[in-house]
Amino acid sequence: MSSREDDEALARAAVAALTRQLELAPKPGLPDPRDLRARATRRDLCSLRWSAKALTPGLAAMAAAARRTGGATPELRAELGAIGRCTEHSVALTGGGHRGALWALGLLVAAVALDPRATGSDVTATARRIAAHADRRAPRRPSRGSSVSAKYGAAGARGEARAGFPHVRRALDALAGARSAGVPEPSARLDALLTVMSTLQDTELLYTAGPHGLRHVQAGARGVLEAGGTSTEAGRAGLSALDDDLHARGWSPRGSGGLLAGALFVDALPVTRL
């Protein structure tokens, strides 16, 4: 890719992946099409779709920065951080949300811009090299996620990126395995989400529910998968029970949702101009 149109195509593909994640249902504890009026998650789907579109200029700017820089350098990492903070401010004006998805998608978009032919693990490896650098311009005050990571020893969003997005890779493997078994695409994506939920040290869950709550959610996700996944009758019953449980408790595995969006973006590569 070598033009503004290519950068914008990458940004639109990333937002499309995020939109596909939003439209997937039923997602336990996460907003989905049942939340047209903020039924349970307090975030209605229409506003989340709108704010997802507000990510497009920032993601295109990240792709352009990577293409211009030409390598996974400290300068690129600092520029991506600055663009990300500006984008967060813009998204806040449209209702907010998607902070975790912006972090993951921004790094993955930049990685693809550096190597447009890359797919799968090559993309996550490049994103790891970018994330390995410290953001020298980042505010010195700790974020909620970094504070929770320090308190509980969780990897958090930064650790996930610096490890090369292992949960994005796990989601991609889950998608491939489900598809090869003939599982319908919506169920394959739900199984990929549950695969992430089953092991991710989600700092949002740690903040709201503590370590016990995190383990409870992880065990619930594993239970659905062990029952045969969401394409089976037992798996669907388990998914419904987990969904009811998380909504009743007010627990939301937002980190898993953002990483599934990242996996759906990588899964759709290579991106061509739209």
Residue 145 domain-assigned (yes or no): no
* Residue type at 191 in one-letter notation: D
pTM: 0.92
CATH number at residue 240: 1.10.4200
Specify if 273 maps to a domain: no
143: in domain? no
Would you say residue 146 lies in a domain?
A: no
Confidence of residue 34 (pLDDT cuts 50, 70, 90): confident
Please report whether residue 147 resides in a domain: no
Residue 38 pLDDT > 70 = no
Q: What is the pLDDT of residues 44-74, one digit of tens each?
A: 677 788 889 989 999 999 999 999 999 999 9
Give the chain's domain count.
Answer: 1
* 274 is a domain residue: no
Q: pLDDT tens digits for 120-161?
A: 999 999 999 999 999 888 777 777 778 888 888 888 889 999
Q: Which domain holds residue 208?
A: 4-136+152-267
Supply the DSSP string of the chain, one letter for each residue.
--SHHHHHHHHHHHHHHHHHHHH-S--TTS--GGGTT-SSSS--HHHHHHHHHTTHHHHHHHHHHHHHH-S--HHHHHHHHHHHHHHHHHHHHTT---HHHHHHHHHHHHHHHH-TT--THHHHHHHHHHHTS--TTS-SSPPHHHHHHHHHT--HHHHHHHTT-HHHHHHHHHHHHHHHTT--HHHHHHHHHHHHHTT---HHHHHHHHHHHHHHHHHHHHHHHHTT-TTSHHHHHHHHHHHHHHHHHT---HHHHHHHHHHHHHHTPSP---
Instruction: Report if residue 142 sits inside a domain.
Output: no
> Is there a domain that residue 240 lies in?
yes
